[in-house]
Structure 1
């Protein structure tokens, strides 16, 4: 590497370091929106770099929409727009009907996922489904949260379709598709066997997929999600 190239790479690394440090301070509120960044001279002294490095770092922050210069006044931090809520994440957990709406959507998608998984799963994918079903029981037996294991099971079924769009859809939903933790469902229903019923339903789905029975897998997934709707409707009646 030539001396010129080495010098250029070193400057780029220094610029990245300054950008990262200032960007983190902006994100943390050390420099809140509307505040003025320190002068070039102060930043040069603070980071031990040249003014050229500072100017390039500020230009990078400006390109990222974090700061903007004001003629004769300096460089100021910009107000960042609020990140819009992702689709399907606007769930009002105080309205059980909102949760049921989500489950109705899942029924239509995941019934077909289970049917396709029964046709297309590989041995490794089948094993992942059974492992996820067993993990839910293990978490329950050790009095650990089960929502991650629950989500993992449904993602394993989605993977076994060998159509990546099913996983993408469920990943958009994320843990919002497993709302029982937010609702404290077990405590509110007074049903200590609640997780046991979910585990048994998962195992029925896994068995149908393993048997290559698309109709049974579809029915088992439908029963599982409709049973979940019934449990949430019990909350409304209570």
Structure 2
């Protein structure tokens, strides 16, 4: 296929991220049978070149198609198109003219989920599950010391908490939300990395959640998780507003650079 011309925001109802635009094109091509059932999508590298975006954007777009039951990914086999599904999947509409508002909406959505998840984990976690939570927190610090953004490690920390809460639906929900959270967390962590006091605050907030889970104190865990979400929102509000004139993924690239 020739290099795609990214559609205008008029055609995309003001889609606000590169991942939105790539998803829109691939979705249309699957529906138009340009990629029929059982065929394979091109590799990440090929699609990144075609659309003129990073592989990170391609991975997010493919993850969204997978969440909608349109494709399946297997290690070593690539991404294959599934048989059409007549069901209409649930979607989160994060389109907005203001990318700061988009990230803040995602954080607001997380508040209730993260708070109850942490409280349940404090009530129900096993010793082995707590060890995994602690290892996940240590992995964030290790990633930061190595100069990485720690986004995947941050998501893994919250995922381990979801697994400890005793309700697998929380893990499923967090996995679904991660399709939308990834870019938001790239932005928030890139912002936090700009200031040492921000990074310290994030570590203290994560540690407070972990400590409450260790002491099996649900109320403290709930409060710590809420403080973490409120802290993330407040830190974003003091960022240079010029960084928010672009879509979320472009703002993330400006702040910290996308890593392949």
TM-score range, shorter chain: 0.5 to 0.7
| Partners of 1:125 and 1:156 within 8 A in 2 | yes
Quick one: which of 167, 170, 177 aligns to 1:173?
Answer: 177
Q: CA deviation at 1:108?
A: 0.8
**DSSP 3-state at the match of 1:216:** helix
Return the alpha-carbon distance in structure 1 between the equivalents of residues 236 and 175 of structure 2.
Answer: 22
Deviates more, 1:192-201 or 1:142-151: 192-201
Structure 1 length as normaliser, TM-score?
0.60
Return the alpha-carbon distance in structure 2 between the equivalents of residues 199 and 88 of structure 1.
Answer: 29
Q: 1:200 — aligned with what?
A: 204
**Change over 3 Å in CA distance of 1:124–1:91 after alignment to 2:** farther
| Partners of 1:93 and 1:182 within 8 A in 2 | no
Return the alpha-carbon distance in structure 2 between the equivalents of residues 129 and 91 of structure 1.
Answer: 33
Task: Render the CA deviation track for 1:211-236: whole Å, top value 9, x for unaligned.
Answer: 01111111110100100011122237
- State the superposition RMSD in angstroms: 3.2
Structure 2 length as normaliser, TM-score?
0.55
Larger fraction in helix: 1
**Change over 3 Å in CA distance of 1:100–1:147 after alignment to 2:** same
Quick one: which of 214, 229, 236 aligns to 1:232?
Answer: 236
Q: 1:95 — aligned with what?
A: 99
Which sections of structure 1, spanning at least 5 residues, go unmatched? 1-21, 29-62, 66-83
**Change over 3 Å in CA distance of 1:146–1:158 after alignment to 2:** same
Which sections of structure 2, spanning at least 5 residues, go unmatched? 1-36, 43-81, 243-260
Quick one: which of 149, 153, 173 aligns to 1:149?
Answer: 153
Q: 1:107 — aligned with what?
A: 111
Return the alpha-carbon distance in structure 2 between the equivalents of residues 183 and 221 of structure 1.
Answer: 16
Task: Render the CA deviation track for 1:4-34: whole Å, top value 9, x for unaligned.
Answer: xxxxxxxxxxxxxxxxxx9547x45xxxxxx
Return the alpha-carbon distance in structure 1 between the equivalents of residues 97 and 189 of structure 2.
Answer: 10
Q: 2:29 — aligned with what?
A: none
Task: Render the CA deviation track for 1:51-93: whole Å, top value 9, x for unaligned.
Answer: xxxxxxxxxxxx957xxxxxxxxxxxxxxxxxx8862363559
Q: 1:140 — aligned with what?
A: 144
Q: CA deviation at 1:192?
A: 3.5
Return the alpha-carbon distance in structure 1 between the equivalents of residues 196 and 97 of structure 2.
Answer: 21
